[in-house]
Chain A
Amino acid sequence: MSILKSSVEKKMGLALAGLFLVFFLFVHLAINLTLIYPGKEAFDAAVEFMATNPFIQLMQPILFLVFAFHIYMAIYLELTNRSKRSVKYVKNNPGANSSWVSRNMIWTGLMIFGFLLLHLYNYFLPFKTQNISDHYELVISLFKNPVYTFIYVLAFVALGLHLSHGFQSAFQTFGVPREKCNRPLVICGNIISIILAVGFSAIAIYFYFN
């Protein structure tokens, strides 16, 4: 990444991409909610809109690029950072000074990435390549599979954990004054995490039992 020369610029790029993805997730959740309310017709209309609206068509490749950039940069920074300490501590007690979530962003991130691939394979590919007559049915049918629903919920728990650190961390990276803003940002990050994790999971669990 020759444009983002310094480590600080790389982190800012990662953070900006992350915040864009949070915005996308809210749009996605709003569409998913139409599965339950108002129901099938609204969902099919939303799918139709997403498949044909020119603005959405423009945003789709941008979204792909942002995902790819966020994942690439996160893995790149993680590997670079790991290479900075060749000899590890014999005894280390990181739990004394930092949260598990903040130290394991790469693992919660990779879990979400794994789920993303599965999700694209299950929905995005059939939507794009096959002539699906009933989108609603395709979505609902997968939630009847207990293994899929379990993986789905697990991925969104990972997402919630990821954002509970990532959201406020992104603002710290942009230099937002910490004294005044940190507490509201942490609270806001936690609320966003809960809305997204519970929102997506609840829809899956609802259809599993109904």
Chain B
Amino acid sequence: MKLNLKIWRQNGPNDKGRMVDYKIDGVDSDMSFLEMLDMLNEQLIAKGEEPVAFDHDCREGICGMCSLYINGEAHGPDRLTTTCQLHMRKFKDGDTIYIEPWRANAFPVIKDLVVDRSALDRIQQAGGYISVNTSGRTVDANNIPIPKKDADDAFDAATCIGCGACVATCKNSSAMLFVSAKVAQFAKLPQGRVEAADRVQNMIAAMDAEGFGSCTNTGACEVECPKGISLTNIAILNKEFLLAQTK
């Protein structure tokens, strides 16, 4: 199939950046979106032009590296799908496709479609962990009985891959879905309760300090999240925050 691509090109963090039009022919409907971009880049390199920079790693939908705002949606039009798992069969011959980087001041553009998402790492470092001595005498986690529902909910929250689609799609550039997933994955587990109050307060403080917006419950993040992280987690985060005030 033939496609018209409109891709954000930006030479570096200080470059102003602009949309550039590309035409690409011979795209196979079984290609992934990133393979289509690989094909474009091979053609650009052959012509002596600078290839389009974009993030990717596992290409299996689990690492959280790929991003891209495709035709006005984070990770493109498909649901529960990362850009690397989005296939060209979702598009039609002759389509015009807009490809932009995640937009949020907390995610500055490094080059073209690559943004710096280290703000999420710093939020994680503010409390997204449990302090356990792992010197070799660690108690097996399975020795502590946990209700199945709680274990399942914690696991669902833990499937967040930290890609930042929630921030990219939120009209407020809020990272609440990300932060809530990281808080909720510990909230129902006994190991997580020990530091629960500090965790939620420190992670919210870090979130605000990194320059993310606040949540207005539009629910856009939940729809665009490639891992289906539920808005329920944001309610859990808010509840945990209120509980922390009583400590």
Chain A residues proximal to chain B, CB less than 8 Å: 6-8, 10-12, 77, 80-94, 96-99, 102-103, 105, 165, 168-169, 172-179
The interface residues of chain A lying within 8 Å CB-to-CB of B125 are none
Option from A82, A84, A105, A175 in Cβ contact (under 8 Å) with B235: A175
Given A93-B73, A98-B219, A103-B218, verify A174-B242 contact (CB < 8 Å): yes
B51 interface residue (CB < 8 Å to A): no
Interface residues in chain B, defined as those with a beta carbon under 8 Å from any beta carbon in chain A: 6, 8, 17, 19, 69, 71-73, 77, 98, 100, 103-106, 169, 171-174, 201, 204-205, 207-208, 211-220, 223-224, 230-232, 234-242
Name the A residues within 8 Å of B211 (CB-CB): 84
Contact present for A91 and B231 (CB under 8 Å) = no
> Which residue of A84, A92, A168 is within 8 Å of B172 (Cβ)?
A84
B87 CB to closest chain A CB (Å) equals: 18
Q: Are B204 and A96 in contact (CB under 8 A)?
A: no
Give A177 to B100 CA distance when docked, in angstroms.
Answer: 36
Interface centre among B17, B169, B223, B231 (most CB of A within 10 A): B169
- How far is the CB of B223 from the nearest CB of chain A, in Å? 4
User: Shortest CB–CB separation between residue A39 and chain B, in angstroms?
Assistant: 42
B86 CB, nearest partner CB in chain A, Å: 14
Determine the residue in chain A with the shortest Cβ distance to B212: A84
Pairwise interchain contact A96-B72, C-beta atoms closer than 8 A: yes
Q: How far is the CA of A165 from the CA of B240 in the complex (A)?
A: 23
A81→B171 contact, CB < 8 A? yes
